[in-house]
């Protein structure tokens, strides 16, 4: 995705999260289990996304180069969570709209600029929107370009972040075929002459597979599916 595409996608995704969260609350209540986040309730999920967006809006507003001075927000009661989340959407979107992608800011990754925050916050919202849609029982397809960008981010950022010394000796390549994006990506390329498995599906389903939100059965698997899962599980994620 081009950097100019991120903010509109984030705005649309935030709006969808709010819609699905409100419907899930009415249908199931705050104690509803979140399938993609074991041990979390709907309240935990809403609070988490609000807190994440609160933090990054602060980083952007202050152009912080360290998180040390971040003022932790108060813990809002459940009946205030949806309103507080909506306010954090607005704060983050406004801060991003007023920033230049190349502006330097603190991040937890080697890339320390607004562009990293843009991309990460889109993908944070996309995956957590699926989480709340699963609570509601109404999961909508992820657009191909968004899903492929998320898969790329996982490979480019999350994999080396989890394995800073490189793939372990037990690593085998896993190939991802994104049929709706006409693209192929590989986890642990070059570690063995041949991949342990090839996984084929939409870019969105591949993204949700690597983030452990859907089972491997949603994909077409050519090769050793159990070993493919084991390779993906080498990467820690929330």
The CA–CA distances, whole Å, from 128 to 38, 125, 221 equal 13, 5, 25
Q: Where in the chain is the domain with CATH 3.30.1050.10?
A: 144-232
**CATH 3.30.1050.10 corresponds to the domain 144-232:** yes
pLDDT at 238: 42
Contact 54, 73 (CB under 8 A): yes
Which secondary structure element, helix H or strand E, spans residue 24, and what is its range?
A: helix 6-28
Whose CA is closest to 20, among 39, 36, 8? 36
Domain with CATH 1.20.120.450 in the chain: 3-136
The pLDDT of 7-25, averaged and rounded, is 98
> Alpha-carbon distance 34 to 217, whole Å?
20
The burial class, CB within 10 Å (0-12 / 13-18 / 19+), for 12 is middle
Is the confidence at residue 151, as pLDDT, over 70?
yes
SS3 221: strand
Tell me how far apart the alpha carbons of residues 232 and 194 are, in angstroms, rounded to a whole number. 17
Shortest CA distance to 219 belongs to which of 238, 201, 193?
Answer: 201
Indicate if the pLDDT at residue 237 is higher than 90: no
What whole-number distance in Å separates Cα of residue 64 and Cα of residue 37?
Answer: 30
What pTM was estimated for this model as a whole?
A: 0.96
User: Which 3 state secondary structure label does DSSP give 184?
Assistant: strand
Which pLDDT tens digit goes with each residue over 99-111? 999 999 999 999 9
Q: Which CATH topology does 3-136 take? A: 1.20.120
Tens-place pLDDT, residues 55-93: 999 999 999 999 999 999 999 999 999 999 999 999 999
For residue 20, count other CB atoms closer than 10 A to its CB. Answer: 22
């Amino acid at each position: 995705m081009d950097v100019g595409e991120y903010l509109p996608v984030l705005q649309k995704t935030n709006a969808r999260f709010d819609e699905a969260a409100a419907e899930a609350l009415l249908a199931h209540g705050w104690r509803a289990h979140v399938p993609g986040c074991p041990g979390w309730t709907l309240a935990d999920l809403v609070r988490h996304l609000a807190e994440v967006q609160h933090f990054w809006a602060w980083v952007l507003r202050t152009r912080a180069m360290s998180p040390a001075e971040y003022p932790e927000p108060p813990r809002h009661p459940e009946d205030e969570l949806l309103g507080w989340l909506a306010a954090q959407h607005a704060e983050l979107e406004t801060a991003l709209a007023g920033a230049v992608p190349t502006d330097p800011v603190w991040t937890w990754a080697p890339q320390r600029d607004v562009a990293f925050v843009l991309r990460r916050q889109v993908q944070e919202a996309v995956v957590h929107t699926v989480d709340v849609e699963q609570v509601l029982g109404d999961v909508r397809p992820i657009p191909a370009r968004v899903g492929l960008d998320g898969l790329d981010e996982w490979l480019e950022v999350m994999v080396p972040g989890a394995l800073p010394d490189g793939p372990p000796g037990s690593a085998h390549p896993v190939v991802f075929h994104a049929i709706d994006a006409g693209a192929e990506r590989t986890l642990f390329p070059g570690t063995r002459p041949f991949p342990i498995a090839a996984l084929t599906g939409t870019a969105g389903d591949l993204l949700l597979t690597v983030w452990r939100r859907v089972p491997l059965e949603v994909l077409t698997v050519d090769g050793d599916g159990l070993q493919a899962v084991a390779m993906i599980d080498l990467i820690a994620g929330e």
